[in-house]
Amino acid sequence: MEQSISDDQWHELLLTIGELRGGADLAKARIEVEQALHDYYGLRRDPAKLKDARATWEAIKRSTVKLHVALAGEWSRRRVRKDFLVHLGLRRLIRRSMSLLEAFDMPIAAHKGSISPALANLYLRLLEIWQDEFRGELRSAGSTTGGPAVRFVRTVLAIAGVERTPGSIRITIRNVLQGKGVGVFRPVAKSDPNKPRPPRPPRSPWKLPRKRVWCVPGRVKPDRQ
């Protein structure tokens, strides 16, 4: 799939945004937008395909466990000679299937919301580009088409094949401004460097410092006479 933006798409994007502030780095902004789209194409997953793959490996695990139990019964009754290669191969397949099931559970659980992790990451990247490269303000205007930030995000999402209304993008921007995060991504509280550190608790008089004992290897202390 094409991951770069054509000149016509970039020109249409700039026309949709409207007048920009001074200091906007359009060349770097285009590179950052293309990189954000590249990451989105690489991260997005189809939830239906993930569920089908998980169901397939769940069936493989059940069949392998059933076969291993049946063979273990035959080996314990000494009806057939135990094949250690088959035994180790089945155990390895069971462990492999269990690890794959755990790996499928994480993205499936992350796709339960209305916004997938790939789309949430694209939202946050575009809002960062809007503020850092375009020097725009992060506001959710209440007009029909939305403000410049809403129009920028909506146009890039359309290039990625994602259709969103201005109202939904406005709600996402409002959540970011309120510190609620987007999708599975939540803001991390940053520590204030100017905030003084709390004082250390007083040292307990009952806790005496440990005495350091030096030991020289190969040297034995002589016995006292």
Q: Tens-of-pLDDT digits for all 225 residues of the chain? A: 445 789 999 999 999 888 887 888 999 999 999 999 998 888 888 778 888 999 999 999 999 999 999 999 999 988 889 899 999 999 999 999 998 888 888 777 766 666 788 888 899 999 999 999 998 888 766 666 678 899 999 999 999 998 888 888 998 888 888 888 787 676 554 455 566 666 766 665 555 555 555 555 555 455 554
Between CA 146 and CA 150 the distance in angstroms is: 5
Give the pLDDT of residue 9: 92
Give the pLDDT of residue 1: 43
Prediction pTM value: 0.62
- Virtual CA dihedral for 43, 44, 46, 49, nearest 10 degrees? -20
In single-letter form, the type of residue at position 104 comes to: F
Give the pLDDT of residue 182: 82
Give the pLDDT of residue 2: 47
Helices (H), the chain: 7-17, 26-43, 47-76, 84-110, 117-132, 148-159, 166-177
Between CA 64 and CA 58 the distance in angstroms is: 10
Between CA 136 and CA 14 the distance in angstroms is: 13
Between CA 69 and CA 170 the distance in angstroms is: 57
Three-class SS state of 171: helix
Give the pLDDT of residue 33: 94
Give the pLDDT of residue 116: 82
Give the pLDDT of residue 198: 67
Q: Cα separations (Å) of 211 from 83, 208, 216, 221? A: 59, 9, 16, 19
Give the pLDDT of residue 41: 87
Give the pLDDT of residue 177: 85
Q: Cα separations (Å) of 124 from 49, 87, 94, 155? A: 26, 49, 39, 15
Between CA 215 and CA 200 the distance in angstroms is: 33
Three-class SS state of 223: coil
Give the pLDDT of residue 113: 64
